[in-house]
Amino acid sequence: MSNRLDAIIAMHTGEYNHNTNDKDQAPFYWGFYPRNMEKKTIQQIKKDVKERPDYYNNPLYDFHSKLENAAKRWLQYYDVDWNEKAKSHFNSIWKSVYDSKGNLRFTCETLETTDPRLLAWKLEWNGPGQAPLTNTENLGMIKSLPAVVVLFLDDVLHLNDEGMTPLDGTYEHLENAQELTKSTRDELIEPHPYVVIAVNSHNMYAGLNSTQVPVSMVLDTMSIALELDIYNLPFIVNRLE
């Protein structure tokens, strides 16, 4: 298991081919794929969670400013300036993400966790309209919402050759994540071996068919809301004898 997980992480941390012309790929909900986002270590995130709890309790607060900043970073990645034309282009796209009252068409609420090394949120679609699509490992495209998102504040997985995590204090946050997402460890980590994981929480989906992979409206949203490069944070596998 640990060897396979190493290979999966290596595959996912490579350059991802975001081909928007691929008919089997979900469209970018925000009009772009978050790139050039701020890179933080787990230690920096843990410190930030302690110093700014409200920021993590309400990730969608001031979201439009975060969205605009993420779009600017995306343009910078391609050496393109943020100007009135770019602003007008994105604003025309973003009109559809708000309802008639100017609110986002989905909500994000914190979920209670039993381990301090885990943060979790529940995202639900309010509409109007159909929830946006996301890609999954095996099923292709499914509705991205409702979803549960977990953020691990410990990026080390302690595994032996059988895939076990037998040491006290090394796996409780993973068990908590499994309970919140109603997924097994393999269903969570194999499709998306990073510390931020999104799982569709609708009962009709299960297992690998519920864990979201790029391109995912929910993962993009959390990257923007937390102002974080989530693909700079793969799990680290500690192999146990």
**Is-contact 116 152, C-beta < 8 A?**
no
Inter-residue contact 110 to 121 (CB < 8 Å)? yes
pLDDT (0 to 100) of residue 148: 96
HSE, CB side, 13 Å, CA atoms: give it for residue 185: 16
Q: What local confidence, expressed as pLDDT, does residue 123 receive?
A: 97
Q: What is the pLDDT of residue 16?
A: 41
Number of CB atoms found within 10 A of residue 1's CB: 16
| pTM for this entry | 0.87
Is there a contact between 1 and 163 (Cβ–Cβ < 8 Å)? yes
Could you give the C-alpha distances from 16 to 133, 189, 213, in angstroms and in order? 19, 17, 11
207: phi > 0 → left, psi -120 to 50 → alpha, else beta; which? Answer: left
Distance, in Å, from the CA atom of 102 to the CA atom of 22, rounded to the nearest integer, reads: 31
Q: What is the pLDDT of residue 97?
A: 92
Nearest to 165 by CA among 114, 238, 235, 234: 238
- The pLDDT value given to residue 6: 53
Q: Looking at residue 238, what is its pLDDT?
A: 76
- Please list the pLDDT of the chain residue by residue as tens digits (241 residues): 445 445 544 545 444 443 434 556 788 899 999 999 999 999 999 999 999 999 999 999 999 999 999 999 999 998 888 888 888 889 989 998 998 888 999 999 999 999 999 999 999 999 888 899 998 876 678 899 999 999 999 998 877 666 656 666 677 888 899 999 999 888 888 889 999 999 998 866 667 778 998 889 999 999 999 999 999 999 988 766 6
pLDDT (0 to 100) of residue 241:
62
